[in-house]
Amino acid sequence: MAIDFTFSPEIEEARQMTRKFMHGVVRPKLAELREAGESRGRGAWREAINELRQKAREEGLWAPHMPKEVGGMGLGITATAMMSAEATKTPMGPYIINCAAPNEGNMHTLLHFGTEEQKEKWLKPLMEGTMQSCFSMTEPDVAGSDPTQIQTQAVEDGDEWVINGRKWFTSGAQRADFAIVIAKTDDDAEVAQGRTSAFIVPLDTPGFRIVRDVQTMGGGGGHPEVEYKNVRIPKENMLGPRGRGHELGQVRLGPARLGHCMRWIGQIEMALEMLIERAQNRFAHGSLLSEKQSIQWMMAHSTLELYQAKLMVLHAAYRIEQGVDFRPEVSMAKYHVANTLWRTVDRALQVHGALGYSKDTPLADMLINARWSRIADGSDEVHLMRIAQFAMRSYNEQGDLSIATGQLPI
Ligand SMILES: Cc1cc2nc3c(=O)[nH]c(=O)nc-3n(C[C@H](O)[C@H](O)[C@H](O)COP(=O)(O)OP(=O)(O)OC[C@H]3O[C@@H](n4cnc5c(N)ncnc54)[C@H](O)[C@@H]3O)c2cc1C
């Protein structure tokens, strides 16, 4: 069996180009904008980010996860992993090269479930960067961890669907042109997972309303509560087959969860590098922090966990590319990478002392962001539950743990 962790020269080149573009073009532009301060207003920021997106596209650094036929780089998910990890070390990096959530997951979903007309109308503008989208599944009144409880209802009326319900944490809805909405269509479906379907809802449809901007640990402006009140959409806006909303959500979440992991790896690396840099330059009680064993153990644990994270993400991506079941691997990767992010950023912040707690470094914001990684796209406990289920299934069906441990040949 061949085990090869090297990338082809073209893929390595894409990584180097991403790094060069982020360091040479994006970071200086962001620094210039920051220096100009608030006085330039949000309009100037938006304009500058759009210009950077345009430049990235011209350089061929655009939607690495999507096939070339639809305007992406066709890199496949494994190669996208390292490009995403590289881009995420720069603020807005993944958005600038058009592989940020939630558009990234929605592009996959439209590619795999969309009709030709839907691809033309909704995927194409996402690929061209002229539209924004969001994903609207979680509801305030029922547990998001269990989507079989979704209450938002879609009812057929002539050649339209009429949607009623309330969602929240529909990330990016304020700036989005359309939402992929999961709603109940078949109350009495035999299996609970067959009750919901997915719909494409243009957000200028009458009856759609942003109820409020939810203030979070990380501030506001990102995850609003929204209402669908007698929202009428044409029949052809159903995405994928009727009764397959749950499945579509799961298929979407495989690569989307891994997309998060890839970006988090970039953040983990950045935090660990900051920890090492600080420890080698801060002197206390007769030696540098880096010479103290307790600090070295922080470095060692973070390095070990980062290495595990990289292997898990690469292996899960490999399984997605091979077209084989990837659910245990993605669950394990998502749980491990999210928790490594949380611990590593916390350690880096600790080593920076008061500076870490201040906003003079990005660590405080990184820690706040790291907290949601353990909740969104499946909370820790749900992934642990799934991992345990796979372990029991593997043991009971095969008398060993191979299904639960990546089906590796050892
Ligand atoms: C920053 C952020 C962005 C988000 N973006 C989106 C988005 O764009 N679109 C969207 O639809 N949703 C989004 N979400 C919502 C997210 O998917 C849900 O928060 C998640 O699915 C959990 O649902 P819940 O919040 O209702 O928690 P609940 O389902 O109520 O769960 C609460 C807690 O209960 C525990 N728990 C749940 N099930 C089990 C179990 N089986 N065993 C043991 N413990 C359990 C866990 O500790 C869990 O954290 C986002 C959330 C965040 C924080």
Ligand 1 in contact with 77 (CB < 6 A)? no
Residue nearest to atom 33 of ligand 1 (CA): 379
Ligand 1 in contact with 223 (CB < 6 A)? yes
Span 76-133, pLDDT tens digits: 777 887 888 889 889 899 999 999 989 988 999 999 999 999 999 999 999 999 999 9
What pLDDT, on the 0 to 100 scale, is given for residue 7? 79
Mutate to test the pocket of ligand 1, among 148, 201, 375 (most ligand atoms within 8 A of CB): 375
Give φ, ψ of 353 to 5 degrees.
55, -140
Residue nearest to atom 26 of ligand 1 (CA): 144
Span 333-366, pLDDT tens digits: 999 999 999 999 999 999 999 999 999 999 999 9
Residue nearest to atom 37 of ligand 1 (CA): 145
Residue nearest to atom 2 of ligand 1 (CA): 376
* Closest to 231 measured CA to CA, from 139, 133, 157, 162: 162
User: How many whole angstroms from 149 Cα to the centroid of ligand 1?
Assistant: 13
The number of helix segments (H) and strand segments (E) in the chain equals: 14, 10
Q: Which atom of ligand 1 is nearest to the CA of 216?
A: 1
Superfamily of chain region 133-239: Butyryl-CoA Dehydrogenase, subunit A, domain 2 (2.40.110.10)
| HEC assignment per residue over the chain | CCCCCCCCHHHHHHHHHHHHHHHHHHHHHHHHHHHHCHHHHHHHHHHHHHHHHHHHHHCCCCCCCCCHHHCCCCCHHHHHHHHHHHHCCCCCHHHHCCCCCCHHHHHHHHHHHCCHHHHHHHHHHHHHCCCCEEEECCCCCCCCCCHHHCCCEEEEECCEEEEEEEECCCCCHHHCCEEEEEEECCCCCCCHHHCEEEEEEECCCCCEEEEECCCECCECCCCCEEEEEEEEEEHHHEECCCCCHHHHHHHHHHHHHHHHHHHHHHHHHHHHHHHHHHHCCCEECCEEHHHCHHHHHHHHHHHHHHHHHHHHHHHHHHHHHHCCCCHHHHHHHHHHHHHHHHHHHHHHHHHCHHHHHCCCCCHHHHHHHHHHCCCCCCCHHHHHHHHHHHHHHHHHHHCCCCHHHCCCCC
Q: Which residues of the chain have pLDDT under 50?
A: none
Ligand 1 in contact with 334 (CB < 6 A)? no
Classify domain 9-114 by CATH architecture.
Orthogonal Bundle (1.10)
pTM value is: 0.92
Domain boundaries, the chain: 9-114, 133-239, 247-405
What pLDDT, on the 0 to 100 scale, is given for residue 205? 98
What pLDDT, on the 0 to 100 scale, is given for residue 38? 59
Ligand 1 in contact with 149 (CB < 6 A)? no
Q: Do domains 9-114 and 247-405 have the same CATH topology?
A: no
Mutate to test the pocket of ligand 1, among 379, 384, 386 (most ligand atoms within 8 A of CB): 379
Span 180-196, pLDDT tens digits: 999 999 998 989 889 99
User: How many whole angstroms from 153 Cα to the centroid of ligand 1?
Assistant: 20
User: How many whole angstroms from 148 Cα to the centroid of ligand 1?
Assistant: 13
Ligand 1 in contact with 218 (CB < 6 A)? no
User: How many whole angstroms from 7 Cα to the centroid of ligand 1?
Assistant: 35
User: How many whole angstroms from 146 Cα to the centroid of ligand 1?
Assistant: 9
Ligand 1 in contact with 388 (CB < 6 A)? no
Q: Regarding the domain delimited by 247-405, which CATH topology (the fold level of the hierarchy) does it fall under?
A: Butyryl-CoA Dehydrogenase, subunit A; domain 3 (1.20.140)
Q: Which atom of ligand 1 is nearest to the CA of 167?
A: 11
* Closest to 182 measured CA to CA, from 254, 118, 113, 248: 248
User: How many whole angstroms from 374 Cα to the centroid of ligand 1?
Assistant: 9
* Closest to 77 measured CA to CA, from 101, 108, 102: 108
User: How many whole angstroms from 116 Cα to the centroid of ligand 1?
Assistant: 33
Sign of the dihedral defined by the CA atoms of residues 321, 322, 323, 327, in that order: negative
